[in-house]
Structure 1
Amino acid sequence: MDSMIPQRANTTWDIDKIITRSLDIPVNSLRKITDIVRSVEFPKGHLLFRGGKVEHDMYFLAKGIAHAYYYHEANKVTLCFNSEGDALISLKSYIQHQPGYEHIELLEPCKLYHLKTASLYELYNSDIHIANWGRKLAELELIKAEEQLMSKLFKTASERYQELIQKQPSLLQRVPLGTIASYLGISQVTLSRIRAEVR
């Protein structure tokens, strides 16, 4: 779930590996979660979440890449990228049961693990290990959002680009440059110049 860890592109993650990535839990508790998970596949361009809507689902990426974005003055502004092993979740819906801000769109054909948050909350009430796992999941997502905010506030576009390719090196082969430019808050022309300077 933490995109800060460099990841191998195009490898399929199994659900046990994804769940225990955020917190190791007993096998019995792990099986309770995997029992409510179903495997799904969606095509490139599929919109998993829509901003302004309460989301009752969450997903984990087994294979593929997605991005979260919002609209500003009719422009699509990318907030973050998610790849294999990451959670796809609307935190505001997950924590407060309120409409989320972000749209989440798949940038490749994706294999995902899907679960209903209501089913997960039932497990939180009956298994302390799962409740602790759910708390840790939310904490790591909040830390990731905070780090992204701090990066956008205090780093230059060039620094953010270098940070991005260090943490998620496969993005350049998998994501259109225009989408990466949107994430960095710059034009595609400026991105091309930064890439030339970095080389």
Structure 2
Amino acid sequence: MKIDEILDKVYKLPDQAKQKIIESIDEVNYKKGEILFQADKIVQEIYFIKKGIVRAYTKTSDNDITFWFGKEGDTVISMRSYVANNKGYEDIEVLEDSEFYKVDISYLRKLFKEDIHIANWGRKFAEQELIKTEKRLISRQFRTAKDRYKELIENNPDLIRRVQLGHIASYLGITQVSLSRIRAEKN
């Protein structure tokens, strides 16, 4: 996905403002299995996924709990680092060889101070991320695992072939055995 399309998904910027962001972007590649962000570290970059898929997870004493998947067009960010310059909660793992657009958060903050359009883009971005987080929380709290699986498949049908079933089960808050039962019922 092109960077113009990704930026416009958040908020339509005037060409001059958009160009200021684009000029600061580097294109980088990561291999499957690499860790993009580590928990308990301040993350200094934002990544936009050009091609590929990642997962956000947190570690417990027993296992990893996946709470988000990102794919083409999505933004990979530690909101805690972005908003408060504090250590993040999450690890971000690259699930397939991937291409990203990378921008430095400190440079973006500088642009926020210099250009009201870019500042508004940053505000809209944070608002959209908050709404996505709220939707995930509500879904997890009030919907059954079967309903969450159905919603996941409707909104992201390609995840089943791109992501290990163990990660999907973790995301849904169920075991792989329960996921297998739900999938068998769907067929």
Q: Same fold (TM over 0.5)?
A: yes
Match of 1:48 among 30, 36, 47: 36
Classify the secondary structure of the residue corresponding to 2:40: coil
Classify the secondary structure of the residue corresponding to 1:59: strand
Aligned pairs (5 A) from 1:15-164? 15-164=3-152
Classify the secondary structure of the residue corresponding to 2:110: helix
Give, in whole Å, the separation in 2 of the partners of 1:120 and 1:74: 38
Give, in whole Å, the separation in 2 of the partners of 1:95 and 1:74: 30
Classify the secondary structure of the residue corresponding to 1:68: strand
TM-score, scaled relative to structure 1 = 0.93
C-alpha displacement at 1:135, in angstroms? 0.6
1:184 aligns with 2:172: yes
Classify the secondary structure of the residue corresponding to 2:58: strand
Aligned length: 187
Classify the secondary structure of the residue corresponding to 1:44: coil
1:168 aligns with 2:186: no
Gaps of 5+ in 2: none
Classify the secondary structure of the residue corresponding to 1:98: coil
Q: Which amino acid aligns with 1:185?
A: G
Describe the superposition over 1:2-30 as per-residue Cα deviations: whole angstroms up to 9, x where unpaired. xxxxxxxxxxx011110111110100000
C-alpha displacement at 1:112, in angstroms? 0.2
Give, in whole Å, the separation in 1 of the partners of 2:59 and 2:139: 20
Instruction: Report what 1:9 is aligned to.
Output: none
Gaps of 5+ in 1: 1-12
Matched-pair identity in %: 47
Give, in whole Å, the separation in 2 of the partners of 1:191 and 1:161: 8
C-alpha displacement at 1:73, in angstroms? 2.1
